Structure 1
Amino acid sequence: MRRLFICFAILTCIISVAGCAGVSQKSAEDRPFFQTEYQQSSHGKKTAFDRLFELDPGHIDVKVSPEYSECPPARIAVLPFIDRGSAQFVVDKMPVTFRNKKERDRWAWTDAQRLRRYMQGYMAAREFLVDNLTIVDAVLQAHGIKDGEDLEAVPPAALGQWLGVDAVVYGTVLHYESYYGFLIAAQQVSVRGRIVSTHDGHELVSFDATRDRTNLMPAIDPLDMVINSVQTFLDLRDIEIARSEDEACREIMVRIPVSQKLREQLVREATQRIVTQGGDLPPSLAPSTGSSEYLQNDSLNLPQ
């Protein structure tokens, strides 16, 4: 038995060395940039099997208006999110903290802005030009905006003028809740919001998302029950809440279709700036029959 184990270990080492030696610098392929991406509209989107496997009964509802496809917003500002929850740490519908008014105000702001930052991050990874959150907050403060009521009273057109954007994102955190039942634990985050055009005030996108992160650890033996109860209790950690926040915003953004029209527009504007500044276009963008003819071409070969 010992000889068999030694032979297996030696064979594993030989295979590992051979595998590492097989990928040499000479044989490595050149990998060009700017390729068409696979699964851009499905990567990160949960399927029914994923929800069943992870015991996630939550829902993601995203509605996109036809106006979004016709005139997608290039520059977007994510406004401060509003927290409608209790601003307490809630387990099984019961608050386990007793925060005063000042603490509740700070925790409500903290919870709401965590989701806001995730939303801003996923939007910035797309074709949008997303304003820096610090700048957005500074502009709103300069105009006397103190809370959600003040913010909602300002017309989208005025926000567009203040921030210089084509659309604004409103968001409301409905609740943060935790559940614990010895052999099962769950974290639930719920957010609702909309993207509104600052040009005409029309709603371009609406979203309503609830993310449930559940851990079920069944057991029969009494000792296993104790061990599993401790493990599920540890699922109430802050990192698990952060994962729920991240997944809720990711699944919202993956359901908003990529605008090829906007991508082409941004490339044309970037090319125009290069030409206007008197710079040389990169070989991949340089037209063969003149810059003006290229800039009028709407069929750019952009990566998907």
Structure 2
Amino acid sequence: MIEVQHLTKSYGPTRAVDDLSFVVRPGRVTGFLGPNGAGKSTTLRLLLGLGEPDAGRALLFGKPYRELSDPLLRAGGLLEAKSTQRTRSAYHHLLWLARTHRIPPSRVREVLDMVGLREVARRSSGGFSLGMSQRLGIAAALLGDPDVLLLDEPVNGLDPEGVHWLRNLLKERAAAGHTVLLSSHLMNEMAVTADHLIVIGRGRLLADSSLADFTAEHCRSVVRVRSHEPERLRVLLRESGAEAAPEPDGTLRVTGMESREVAKLARAHDIGFDELAGESTSLEEAFLEMTASETQFAADSAAGSRKGARHDVL
């Protein structure tokens, strides 16, 4: 199990993690979400003992990472895909890790097969593509067959087959009772991989709930209607407590009312319509809405510029 207790970490005047607390339980894939600068990578680094918190604790199995005996057999992590010694082959990189943790060489061959790098195992890792480097980093995280996995943006550089493979791997690990904490910016992938979500912004906790509960609470129902009298219908919808915004194609985007109710209101006032369809907002839209005020850098839709001049602390 992973526990973060009132964790705080600053870099100069910038507070990357701010009194953050959450628990990641075994048996499910937990998605770790937040905009750039939210503190995700800093939190993962503190959990893996790659820094000291200013306050609070980052615990694995009730202890700081540095106090674990045989840590690679307890927790595996991937933070940077290109962190290997570039002149060393994939095989010898994993063999070196195995020898320092009393892991048999046979396990090296197992994980190379598992991540699909068997054919390039003797090549220098410095010539690997980003996707191959990600696979090697995942192999290193799996080397000790650990109970806990902490992965920061592991799908970066993976092709669709690789993304599908990793998704199934993480689900299988969780189903076997392992603890999986996965950071990613790909909301569509998170929606089909994660069982639970932890969302942070500017180092603070914004949400800690199951994917189903998060979706039910934050993914709103949307109705799109193409009416013969859009302005009149828009006024009636607002008077009824719904929000109706015109789209560029002439349809109305309605929130706060189900499609059946929109149709009933239009018919009651003899307003015809050619099209009426209900849909739900995506996890990505819900995430963007929740974190809008917590984003350090936002694109200026008019000028395409960046707002703010602070350094991005991950």
Normalised by the shorter chain, which TM-score bucket? under 0.3
TM-score computed with the length of structure 2 as normaliser: 0.20
Say which structure is richer in strand. 2
Would you tell me which structure has more helix in proportion to its own residues? 1
TM-score (norm. length: structure 1): 0.20
